[in-house]
């Protein structure tokens, strides 16, 4: 009943997803850069939702996981529209967005479009605006000139690419420079041993959000992934607070 299915976008892309219906807001998990719905946090939240009778939607962005497409063609704008299309097609009622790393940036872009359907947000090492602070000036110059930049990948054997199309679109989607017009309750989790996304980024995001109902939880010995058993338990407790 919960096997992977595919949703066809108007331009023919087939986006892989898993969906279970249930009570309360439907949790929509947004993976990080080059991640997919088979990751530990996504799987744990889906299993928890199924056991508790809650709604949950997982998906792979185009070019990632089981979805069709070329990763090099992926941008935040394109992936935002895919998420919104799936929400529109598969979910009735309010939405709880959970975004991990880059998914935390994408979470903001999706939230801005959901209007009154947005119930709450949970960021896990959220990384908004990382095209601005996550690269050296030399890398930024190469990307702006249309070159692909490759970096060492601590999570796999192949280097991590950043393509110029993604970079250019990201530079047009910056959010931390001013007030972010989102008013829903928000929880931000961040490990202080995160070597990929500075934990201060979550503090900047908390300050930029217009909502007053924002809480930041810093995990002193937590890394970027926050995938240990105790981290997953914290994530589950945080999500459960909205039901």
Catalytic positions are 101, 194, 224
Answer whether residue 242 is part of any domain: no
Residue with tokens 């809480």: 215
> What per-residue confidence (pLDDT) applies to 12?
85
- Report pTM: 0.97
> What per-residue confidence (pLDDT) applies to 10?
83
Kindly report, residue by residue over 200-222, the tens digit of the pLDDT.
999 999 999 999 999 999 999 99
* Domains of the chain: total: 1
- Domain with 154, as residue range(s), is 5-237
Answer whether residue 243 is part of any domain: no
Residue 37 has pLDDT above 80, yes or no: yes
What CATH number corresponds to the domain at position 122?
3.40.50.1820
Answer whether residue 42 is part of any domain: yes
> What per-residue confidence (pLDDT) applies to 102?
98
Contact between 201 and 173 under an 8 Å Cβ cutoff? The reply is no
Kindly report, residue by residue over 60-102, the tens digit of the pLDDT.
999 999 999 999 999 999 999 999 999 999 999 999 999 999 9
Contact between 83 and 10 under an 8 Å Cβ cutoff? The reply is no
Contact between 16 and 4 under an 8 Å Cβ cutoff? The reply is yes
In 3-state terms, what secondary structure has residue 20? strand
Answer whether residue 63 is part of any domain: yes
Q: How far apart are CA 51 and CA 47, in angstroms?
A: 6
What is the pLDDT of the chain when averaged over all its residues?
A: 96
Kindly report, residue by residue over 105-125, the tens digit of the pLDDT.
999 999 999 999 999 999 999
> What per-residue confidence (pLDDT) applies to 2?
64
What does the buried/exposed string (b/e) look like for 139-174 if buried means 16 or more CB atoms within 10 Å of the residue's CB? bbebbeeeeebeeeeeeeeeeeebbbbbbebbeebe
> What per-residue confidence (pLDDT) applies to 154?
80
Pairing of strands 95-100, 54-59: unpaired
């Amino acid at each position: 009943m919960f096997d992977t299915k595919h949703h066809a976008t108007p331009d023919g892309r087939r986006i892989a997803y898993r969906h279970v219906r249930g009570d309360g807001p439907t949790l929509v998990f947004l993976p990080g850069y080059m991640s997919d719905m088979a990751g530990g946090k996504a799987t744990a939240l889906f299993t928890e939702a199924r056991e508790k009778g809650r709604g949950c939607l997982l998906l792979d962005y185009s070019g990632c996981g089981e979805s069709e497409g070329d990763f090099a063609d992926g941008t935040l704008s394109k992936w935002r529209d895919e998420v919104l299309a799936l929400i529109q097609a598969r979910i009735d009622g309010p939405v709880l967005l959970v975004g991990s790393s880059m998914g935390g940036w994408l979470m903001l872009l999706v939230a801005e479009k959901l209007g009154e359907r947005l119930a709450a947000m949970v960021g896990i090492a959220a990384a908004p605006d990382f095209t601005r602070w996550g690269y050296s000036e030399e890398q930024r110059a190469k990307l702006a000139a249309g070159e692909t930049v490759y970096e060492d990948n601590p999570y796999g054997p192949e280097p991590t690419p950043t393509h110029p199309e993604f970079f250019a679109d990201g530079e047009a989607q910056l959010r931390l420079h001013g007030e972010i017009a989102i008013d829903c309750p928000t929880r931000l989790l961040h490990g202080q041993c995160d070597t990929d996304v500075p934990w201060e980024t979550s503090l900047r995001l908390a300050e930029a959000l217009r909502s007053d109902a924002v809480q930041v939880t810093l995990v002193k010995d937590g890394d970027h992934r926050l995938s240990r058993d105790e981290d997953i338990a914290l994530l589950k407790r945080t999500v459960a607070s909205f039901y």
